[in-house]
Amino acid sequence: MSTLWFDIAHLFAGGVLVLSLALLYQDRITAVINVFALQAVVLSLSVAWQSVVQGAPHLVATAVIALVAKGLIIPTALHRIVRKLDVHREVERAIGGGPTMLAGLGLVALSILLVEPVVDTADPVAREDFAFALAVVLLGLLMMITRRNAVTQVVGFMSLENGLVLAATGAKGMPLVVEVSVAFSVLIAFIVFGVFVFRIRERFDTVDVNVLERFRGERREHL
């Protein structure tokens, strides 16, 4: 493979990772959704490029699914939810912005540290994609942990799934079925989350998941 082809693949995969960190940095919910949409677009570009590089036409389908479902439908739906429910526009953080970013950087370093020596002999593209993908998954988890708001948690989960797609396309020969099923399950998860958000909102007048915990009696009074 020529270096330019490699460089472009590297650029797209790295772009997905950088956008994951950008998701962590955002303060406003609408900005979070927009960055997420951008991440989906970059992801689909990356997948499309991989389909050219690997000569695997079925990856085009994955790219289209990513672009349409996560680049268009889901962000639009999320924007609608935010507007309709009149959610608080600021992202409510459980941990401050600075420490979250530092933790995110640490996770990126950790995933590179883990993947790099293990698959030293593998194809460099697969190795890189794997490191990036692991980092994206971890950052998605971090986002779910550190945000109070259900909408941002949904976005965190979706971006986690983006990481899974990235990992799947980096490795050659991942069958389409797996991706379709992953995409489908995420869609279902999204619907569940959507219903869940509406239900919380109906009952508690807020989408802060802490309220839910209090309802379950998990939180002690002195907290």
Partner 1 sequence: MPEVAVALWCIAGFLGAGVVGAVLGNRPFATPLVYGACLAIALLGVLVALGVLFGGAPATAVVLPVGLPGIGAHVRLDPLAAFFMLVVDLGAAAASLYAIGYGRHAAEPRRVLPFYGAFLAGMNLVVLAADAFTFLLSWEFMSLASWALVVSDHRSSASLRAGYVYLLMAGFGTFCLLLAFGLLAGTSGDFTFAHLRTAGAGETATALATMLVIVGTGSKAGLMPLHVWLPLAHPAAPSHVSALLSGVMTKVGIYAFIRLVFDVIGDFSPWVGLVVVMSGGGTAVLGVLYAVMQRDLKRLLAYSTVENVGIVFIGLGLALAFRANGQGPAAALAMTAALFHVLNHAAFKSLLFFGAGAVLAGSGERDMEKLGGLVHRMPQTAVVFLLGCMSIAALPPLNGFVSEWLTFQAILLSPQLPQWGLKFAVPAVGALLALAAALAGACFVKAFGVVFLGRPRSPAAATAHEIDAFGLTAMLTLAWICLAAGTLPGFVIDALAPVTRDLTGSALPAQASLPWLSIVPIAESRSSYNGLVVFFFLVASGSFTAIAVHRVASRRTRRAPAWDCGYPLDSPLTQYSGASFAMPIRRVFATVTFGVHETVDMPRPGEMRPARFRLRVRDPAWRFFYGPLARGVERAARRLNRLQFLTIRRYLALVFAALVVLMLVVAAWR
Partner 2 sequence: MAMMLDLALQLVQITLLVAIAPLIVGITRKVRARLLRRRGPPLLQPYHDLWKQMHKEAVVADNASWVYRRAPYMVFAATWVAAGLVPTYATGLLFSWSADLIAVVALLGTARFALALAAMDVGTAFGGLGASREMMIASLAEPAMLLIAFAVALIAGTTQLSAIAALFATGDVGLRVSLGLALLALVIVGIAENARIPIDNPSTHLELTMVHEAMILEYSGRHLAMIEAASHLKLVLYFSLVGCLFVPFGMATGDKTLPALAIGLATFVAKLVAFAVLLPIAETTVAKMRVFRYPAFIGSAFAAAALAVFLRFVSRGF
Binding site for partner 2 (CB under 8 A): 3-4, 6-8, 10-11, 14-15, 17-18, 21, 25, 97-98, 101, 104-105, 108-109, 112, 116, 124, 127-128, 131-132
Phi (first) and psi of residue 90, to 5 degrees: -80, 145
Q: Which residues of 89-98 are buried (b: 16+ CB within 10 A; e: fewer)?
A: eebbbeeeee
Separation CA 55–CA 129 (nearest Å): 17
How many residues touch partner 1 under the rule CB under 8 A: the total is: 8
Q: Among 20-28, 33-41, 48-56, 106-114, which window interacts with partner 1 (CB under 8 A)?
A: 106-114
124: contact with partner 1 by CB under 8 A: no
Q: Among 32-40, 61-69, 79-87, 113-121, which window interacts with partner 1 (CB under 8 A)?
A: 113-121
What's the CA angle centered on 137, arms 30 and 197, to 5 degrees? 45
State the amino acid at position 223 in one-letter form. Answer: L
Query: Based on CB atoms, which residue is closest to partner 1, 73 or 102?
Result: 102
Q: What does the block give as tokens for 143? A: 């986002």
When CB distances are held under 5 to 8 angstroms depending on the partner's kind, the choice from partner 2, partner 1, none that residue 124 binds is partner 2
**In angstroms, what CA-CA distances link 116 with 109, 120, 129, 166?**
10, 6, 11, 16
Per DSSP, 173 falls in state T
Closest approach of partner 2 to the CB of residue 216, in Å: 33
Q: Among 18-26, 110-118, 143-151, 155-163, which window interacts with partner 1 (CB under 8 A)?
A: 110-118
Residues that bind partner 1 in the complex, under the rule CB under 8 A: 96, 98-99, 109, 112-113, 116-117
